[in-house]
Chain A
């Protein structure tokens, strides 16, 4: 059955501002398809972002949407969710936004296991500001601020969020939108902190400058550098180097450990005293 994705989009705001070949639109598309497959109420859904090309995504979505400051979306979202746990709160963040300036909020969001769905657009570069390196830029890659090759090490955000306490952790890639939709859907339905890293392409500021090529070649690169999580687990360590597992990587279903549920127990304990 055809999905009417436009009912979730602000059509009058289209076309979007992203460059031709940018992967951000693919993520947006998968997200609305995923929302359509859940039974969440669009009137009770809030989408929050920080700053970056990815930060512009909420502007195209027909929900309550909030475009905040660079890196802080999870902190704003935490307030929105805790103040009204009925709301479905989605955070859209870039790799710079979510893992550099906002890295601390990401860790603490995971630790609280507050019921947010965080989708991180990992294009391995600062797109909006013209191609400076991010914490997700691979060692050796060229960026405008690493003209001689990046000497930093990149994060493994899946490992990081898992050990910080996120209860749903997954990785998708824009070359496989079907899987992305599935992962987003599961993340949206999961009660607790859901983190879905999505490998994404910025042909303008990353692909061309690192001799990977344009969007098509970048998607090919994704295909060559990813394997299903189930396969990855069985791979010998030396083969894992530079290869990313895709799919659900970690999941723990324990709705009672979710942050707003825990806080509600405190409130309820006072209500009982009054009875």
Chain B
């Protein structure tokens, strides 16, 4: 391994570096604080390697254009913040329905509406899951540091490509704008996955673009390679053509759900430090995890039995893991920069086995370690 120097890097730019390392070839988006640096970074970097950047007329178009790039066979990404994330939702739904690999970054700021444009928030957690209409699978990852922003961007591309699935990367303003010293891995240390394409000798005449393969992820041809296939946001059967029958609708929904649900072990990422006797667990994600971990460390110095878990994958939710934690712990503390969003999932998974307590700020101020410590110490 080469001896590398640490570089001072901003979180938004770590997304750019991570994207380039994962093989990003196409960016389409619209500027918005605190995510503009991501667009600016890709505008600078992509043409150097033959990739393409385009600034669209709005976020609806940004989302649509990124999906278009993906259909032409390029690894595609778009980036935004709250107001733009709202605009992306309809076309995000199309991306899910047609199973287009694409990465959607949302650097969260305080909402609703224009809200507090330069202040941090974790208010889009439920929007990431339910923002587009109808039931649907989704993957959402949330980094808590600059290095994680890099790593999880690579993961986001890999998951998008492997599962033919839009993947959301939820940063918050703190992680997006913070600068940290990081050592970035060399290209050969990074695992990069590409989408599965049909083999060169595939029967193009009788090709089914939504075939039921064993892994439930149909191979995806690039446009222009002779498959001449149809894609629609309507419910469709394996041929890609609309079939409005209830039976086909259920089949498609079940497959799209199962392609993610069957792979939770690979998709659900978290870090934890929970000792045998820890009966208090702080569960956090994103920038809030920084205060959570330092509060737990301090509590331990004070002799308390506290541990932490930091979710890097928010959706699908680590239900089984949290359920197990709740069996052992007396109390699970969930700090969030919102009025209490992911805590609902924690409560659901805990099934009353442990007390679940939220710490919430939604005024653009951080949750400090002392806030978390006070909650930990509140327990005898």
Contact = CB atoms under 8 A, between A and B. Distances in A.
A96 interface: no
B28 interface: yes
Interface in A160-191: none
A76 B67 contact: yes
Contact of B73 (A43, A84, A267): A84
B68 A77 contact: yes
A79 B66 contact: yes
A66 B71 contact: yes
Contacts of B233: 67-69
Interface in B61-75: 61, 64-74
A28 interface: no
Given A13-B241, A82-B69, A84-B72, A75 B60 contact: yes
A212 to B, nearest CB: 32
B228 A62 contact: yes
A69 B74 CA distance: 21
Interface string A79-109: 1111110110000000000000000110110
Say what secondary structure dominates the interface of chain A. Answer: helix
B57 A83 contact: no
B232 interface: yes
A65 B239 CA distance: 13
Interface in A28-85: 42-44, 46, 48, 58-59, 62-69, 72, 75-84
Interface string B217-243: 000001111111111111000000110
A44 B222 CA distance: 10
A148 interface: no
Contacts of A75: 56, 60-61, 64-65, 68
A52 to B, nearest CB: 13
Nearest to B236: A67
A65 B71 CA distance: 11
A270 B49 CA distance: 8
Contacts of B72: 79-81, 83-84, 87
Contact of B54 (A59, A78, A267): A78
Given A46-B224, A64-B228, A67-B230, A80 B64 contact: no
A46 to B, nearest CB: 5
A72 B94 CA distance: 11
A267 B26 CA distance: 13
Contacts of B223: 46, 64, 80, 84, 87
A79 B64 CA distance: 7
Contact of B64 (A76, A83, A263): A76
A141 B57 CA distance: 32
B90 A69 contact: yes
Given A67-B231, A266-B47, A82 B54 contact: yes
A72 B26 CA distance: 18
Contact of B65 (A62, A79, A263, A267): A79
A77 B69 CA distance: 9
Contacts of A104: 57-58, 61
Contacts of A48: 68
A44 B224 contact: yes
Interface in B95-125: 98
A65 B67 CA distance: 14
Smallest CB-CB A-B distances: 4 pairs: A79-B68, A83-B72, A75-B64, A79-B65
Interface of A: 10, 13, 42-44, 46, 48, 58-59, 62-69, 72, 75-84, 86-87, 104-105, 107-108, 263, 266-267, 270-271
17 contacts: A59-B241, A65-B229, A66-B71, A66-B231, A75-B61, A75-B64, A76-B64, A79-B64, A80-B68, A81-B72, A83-B68, A83-B71, A83-B73, A104-B61, A105-B57, A107-B57, A266-B47
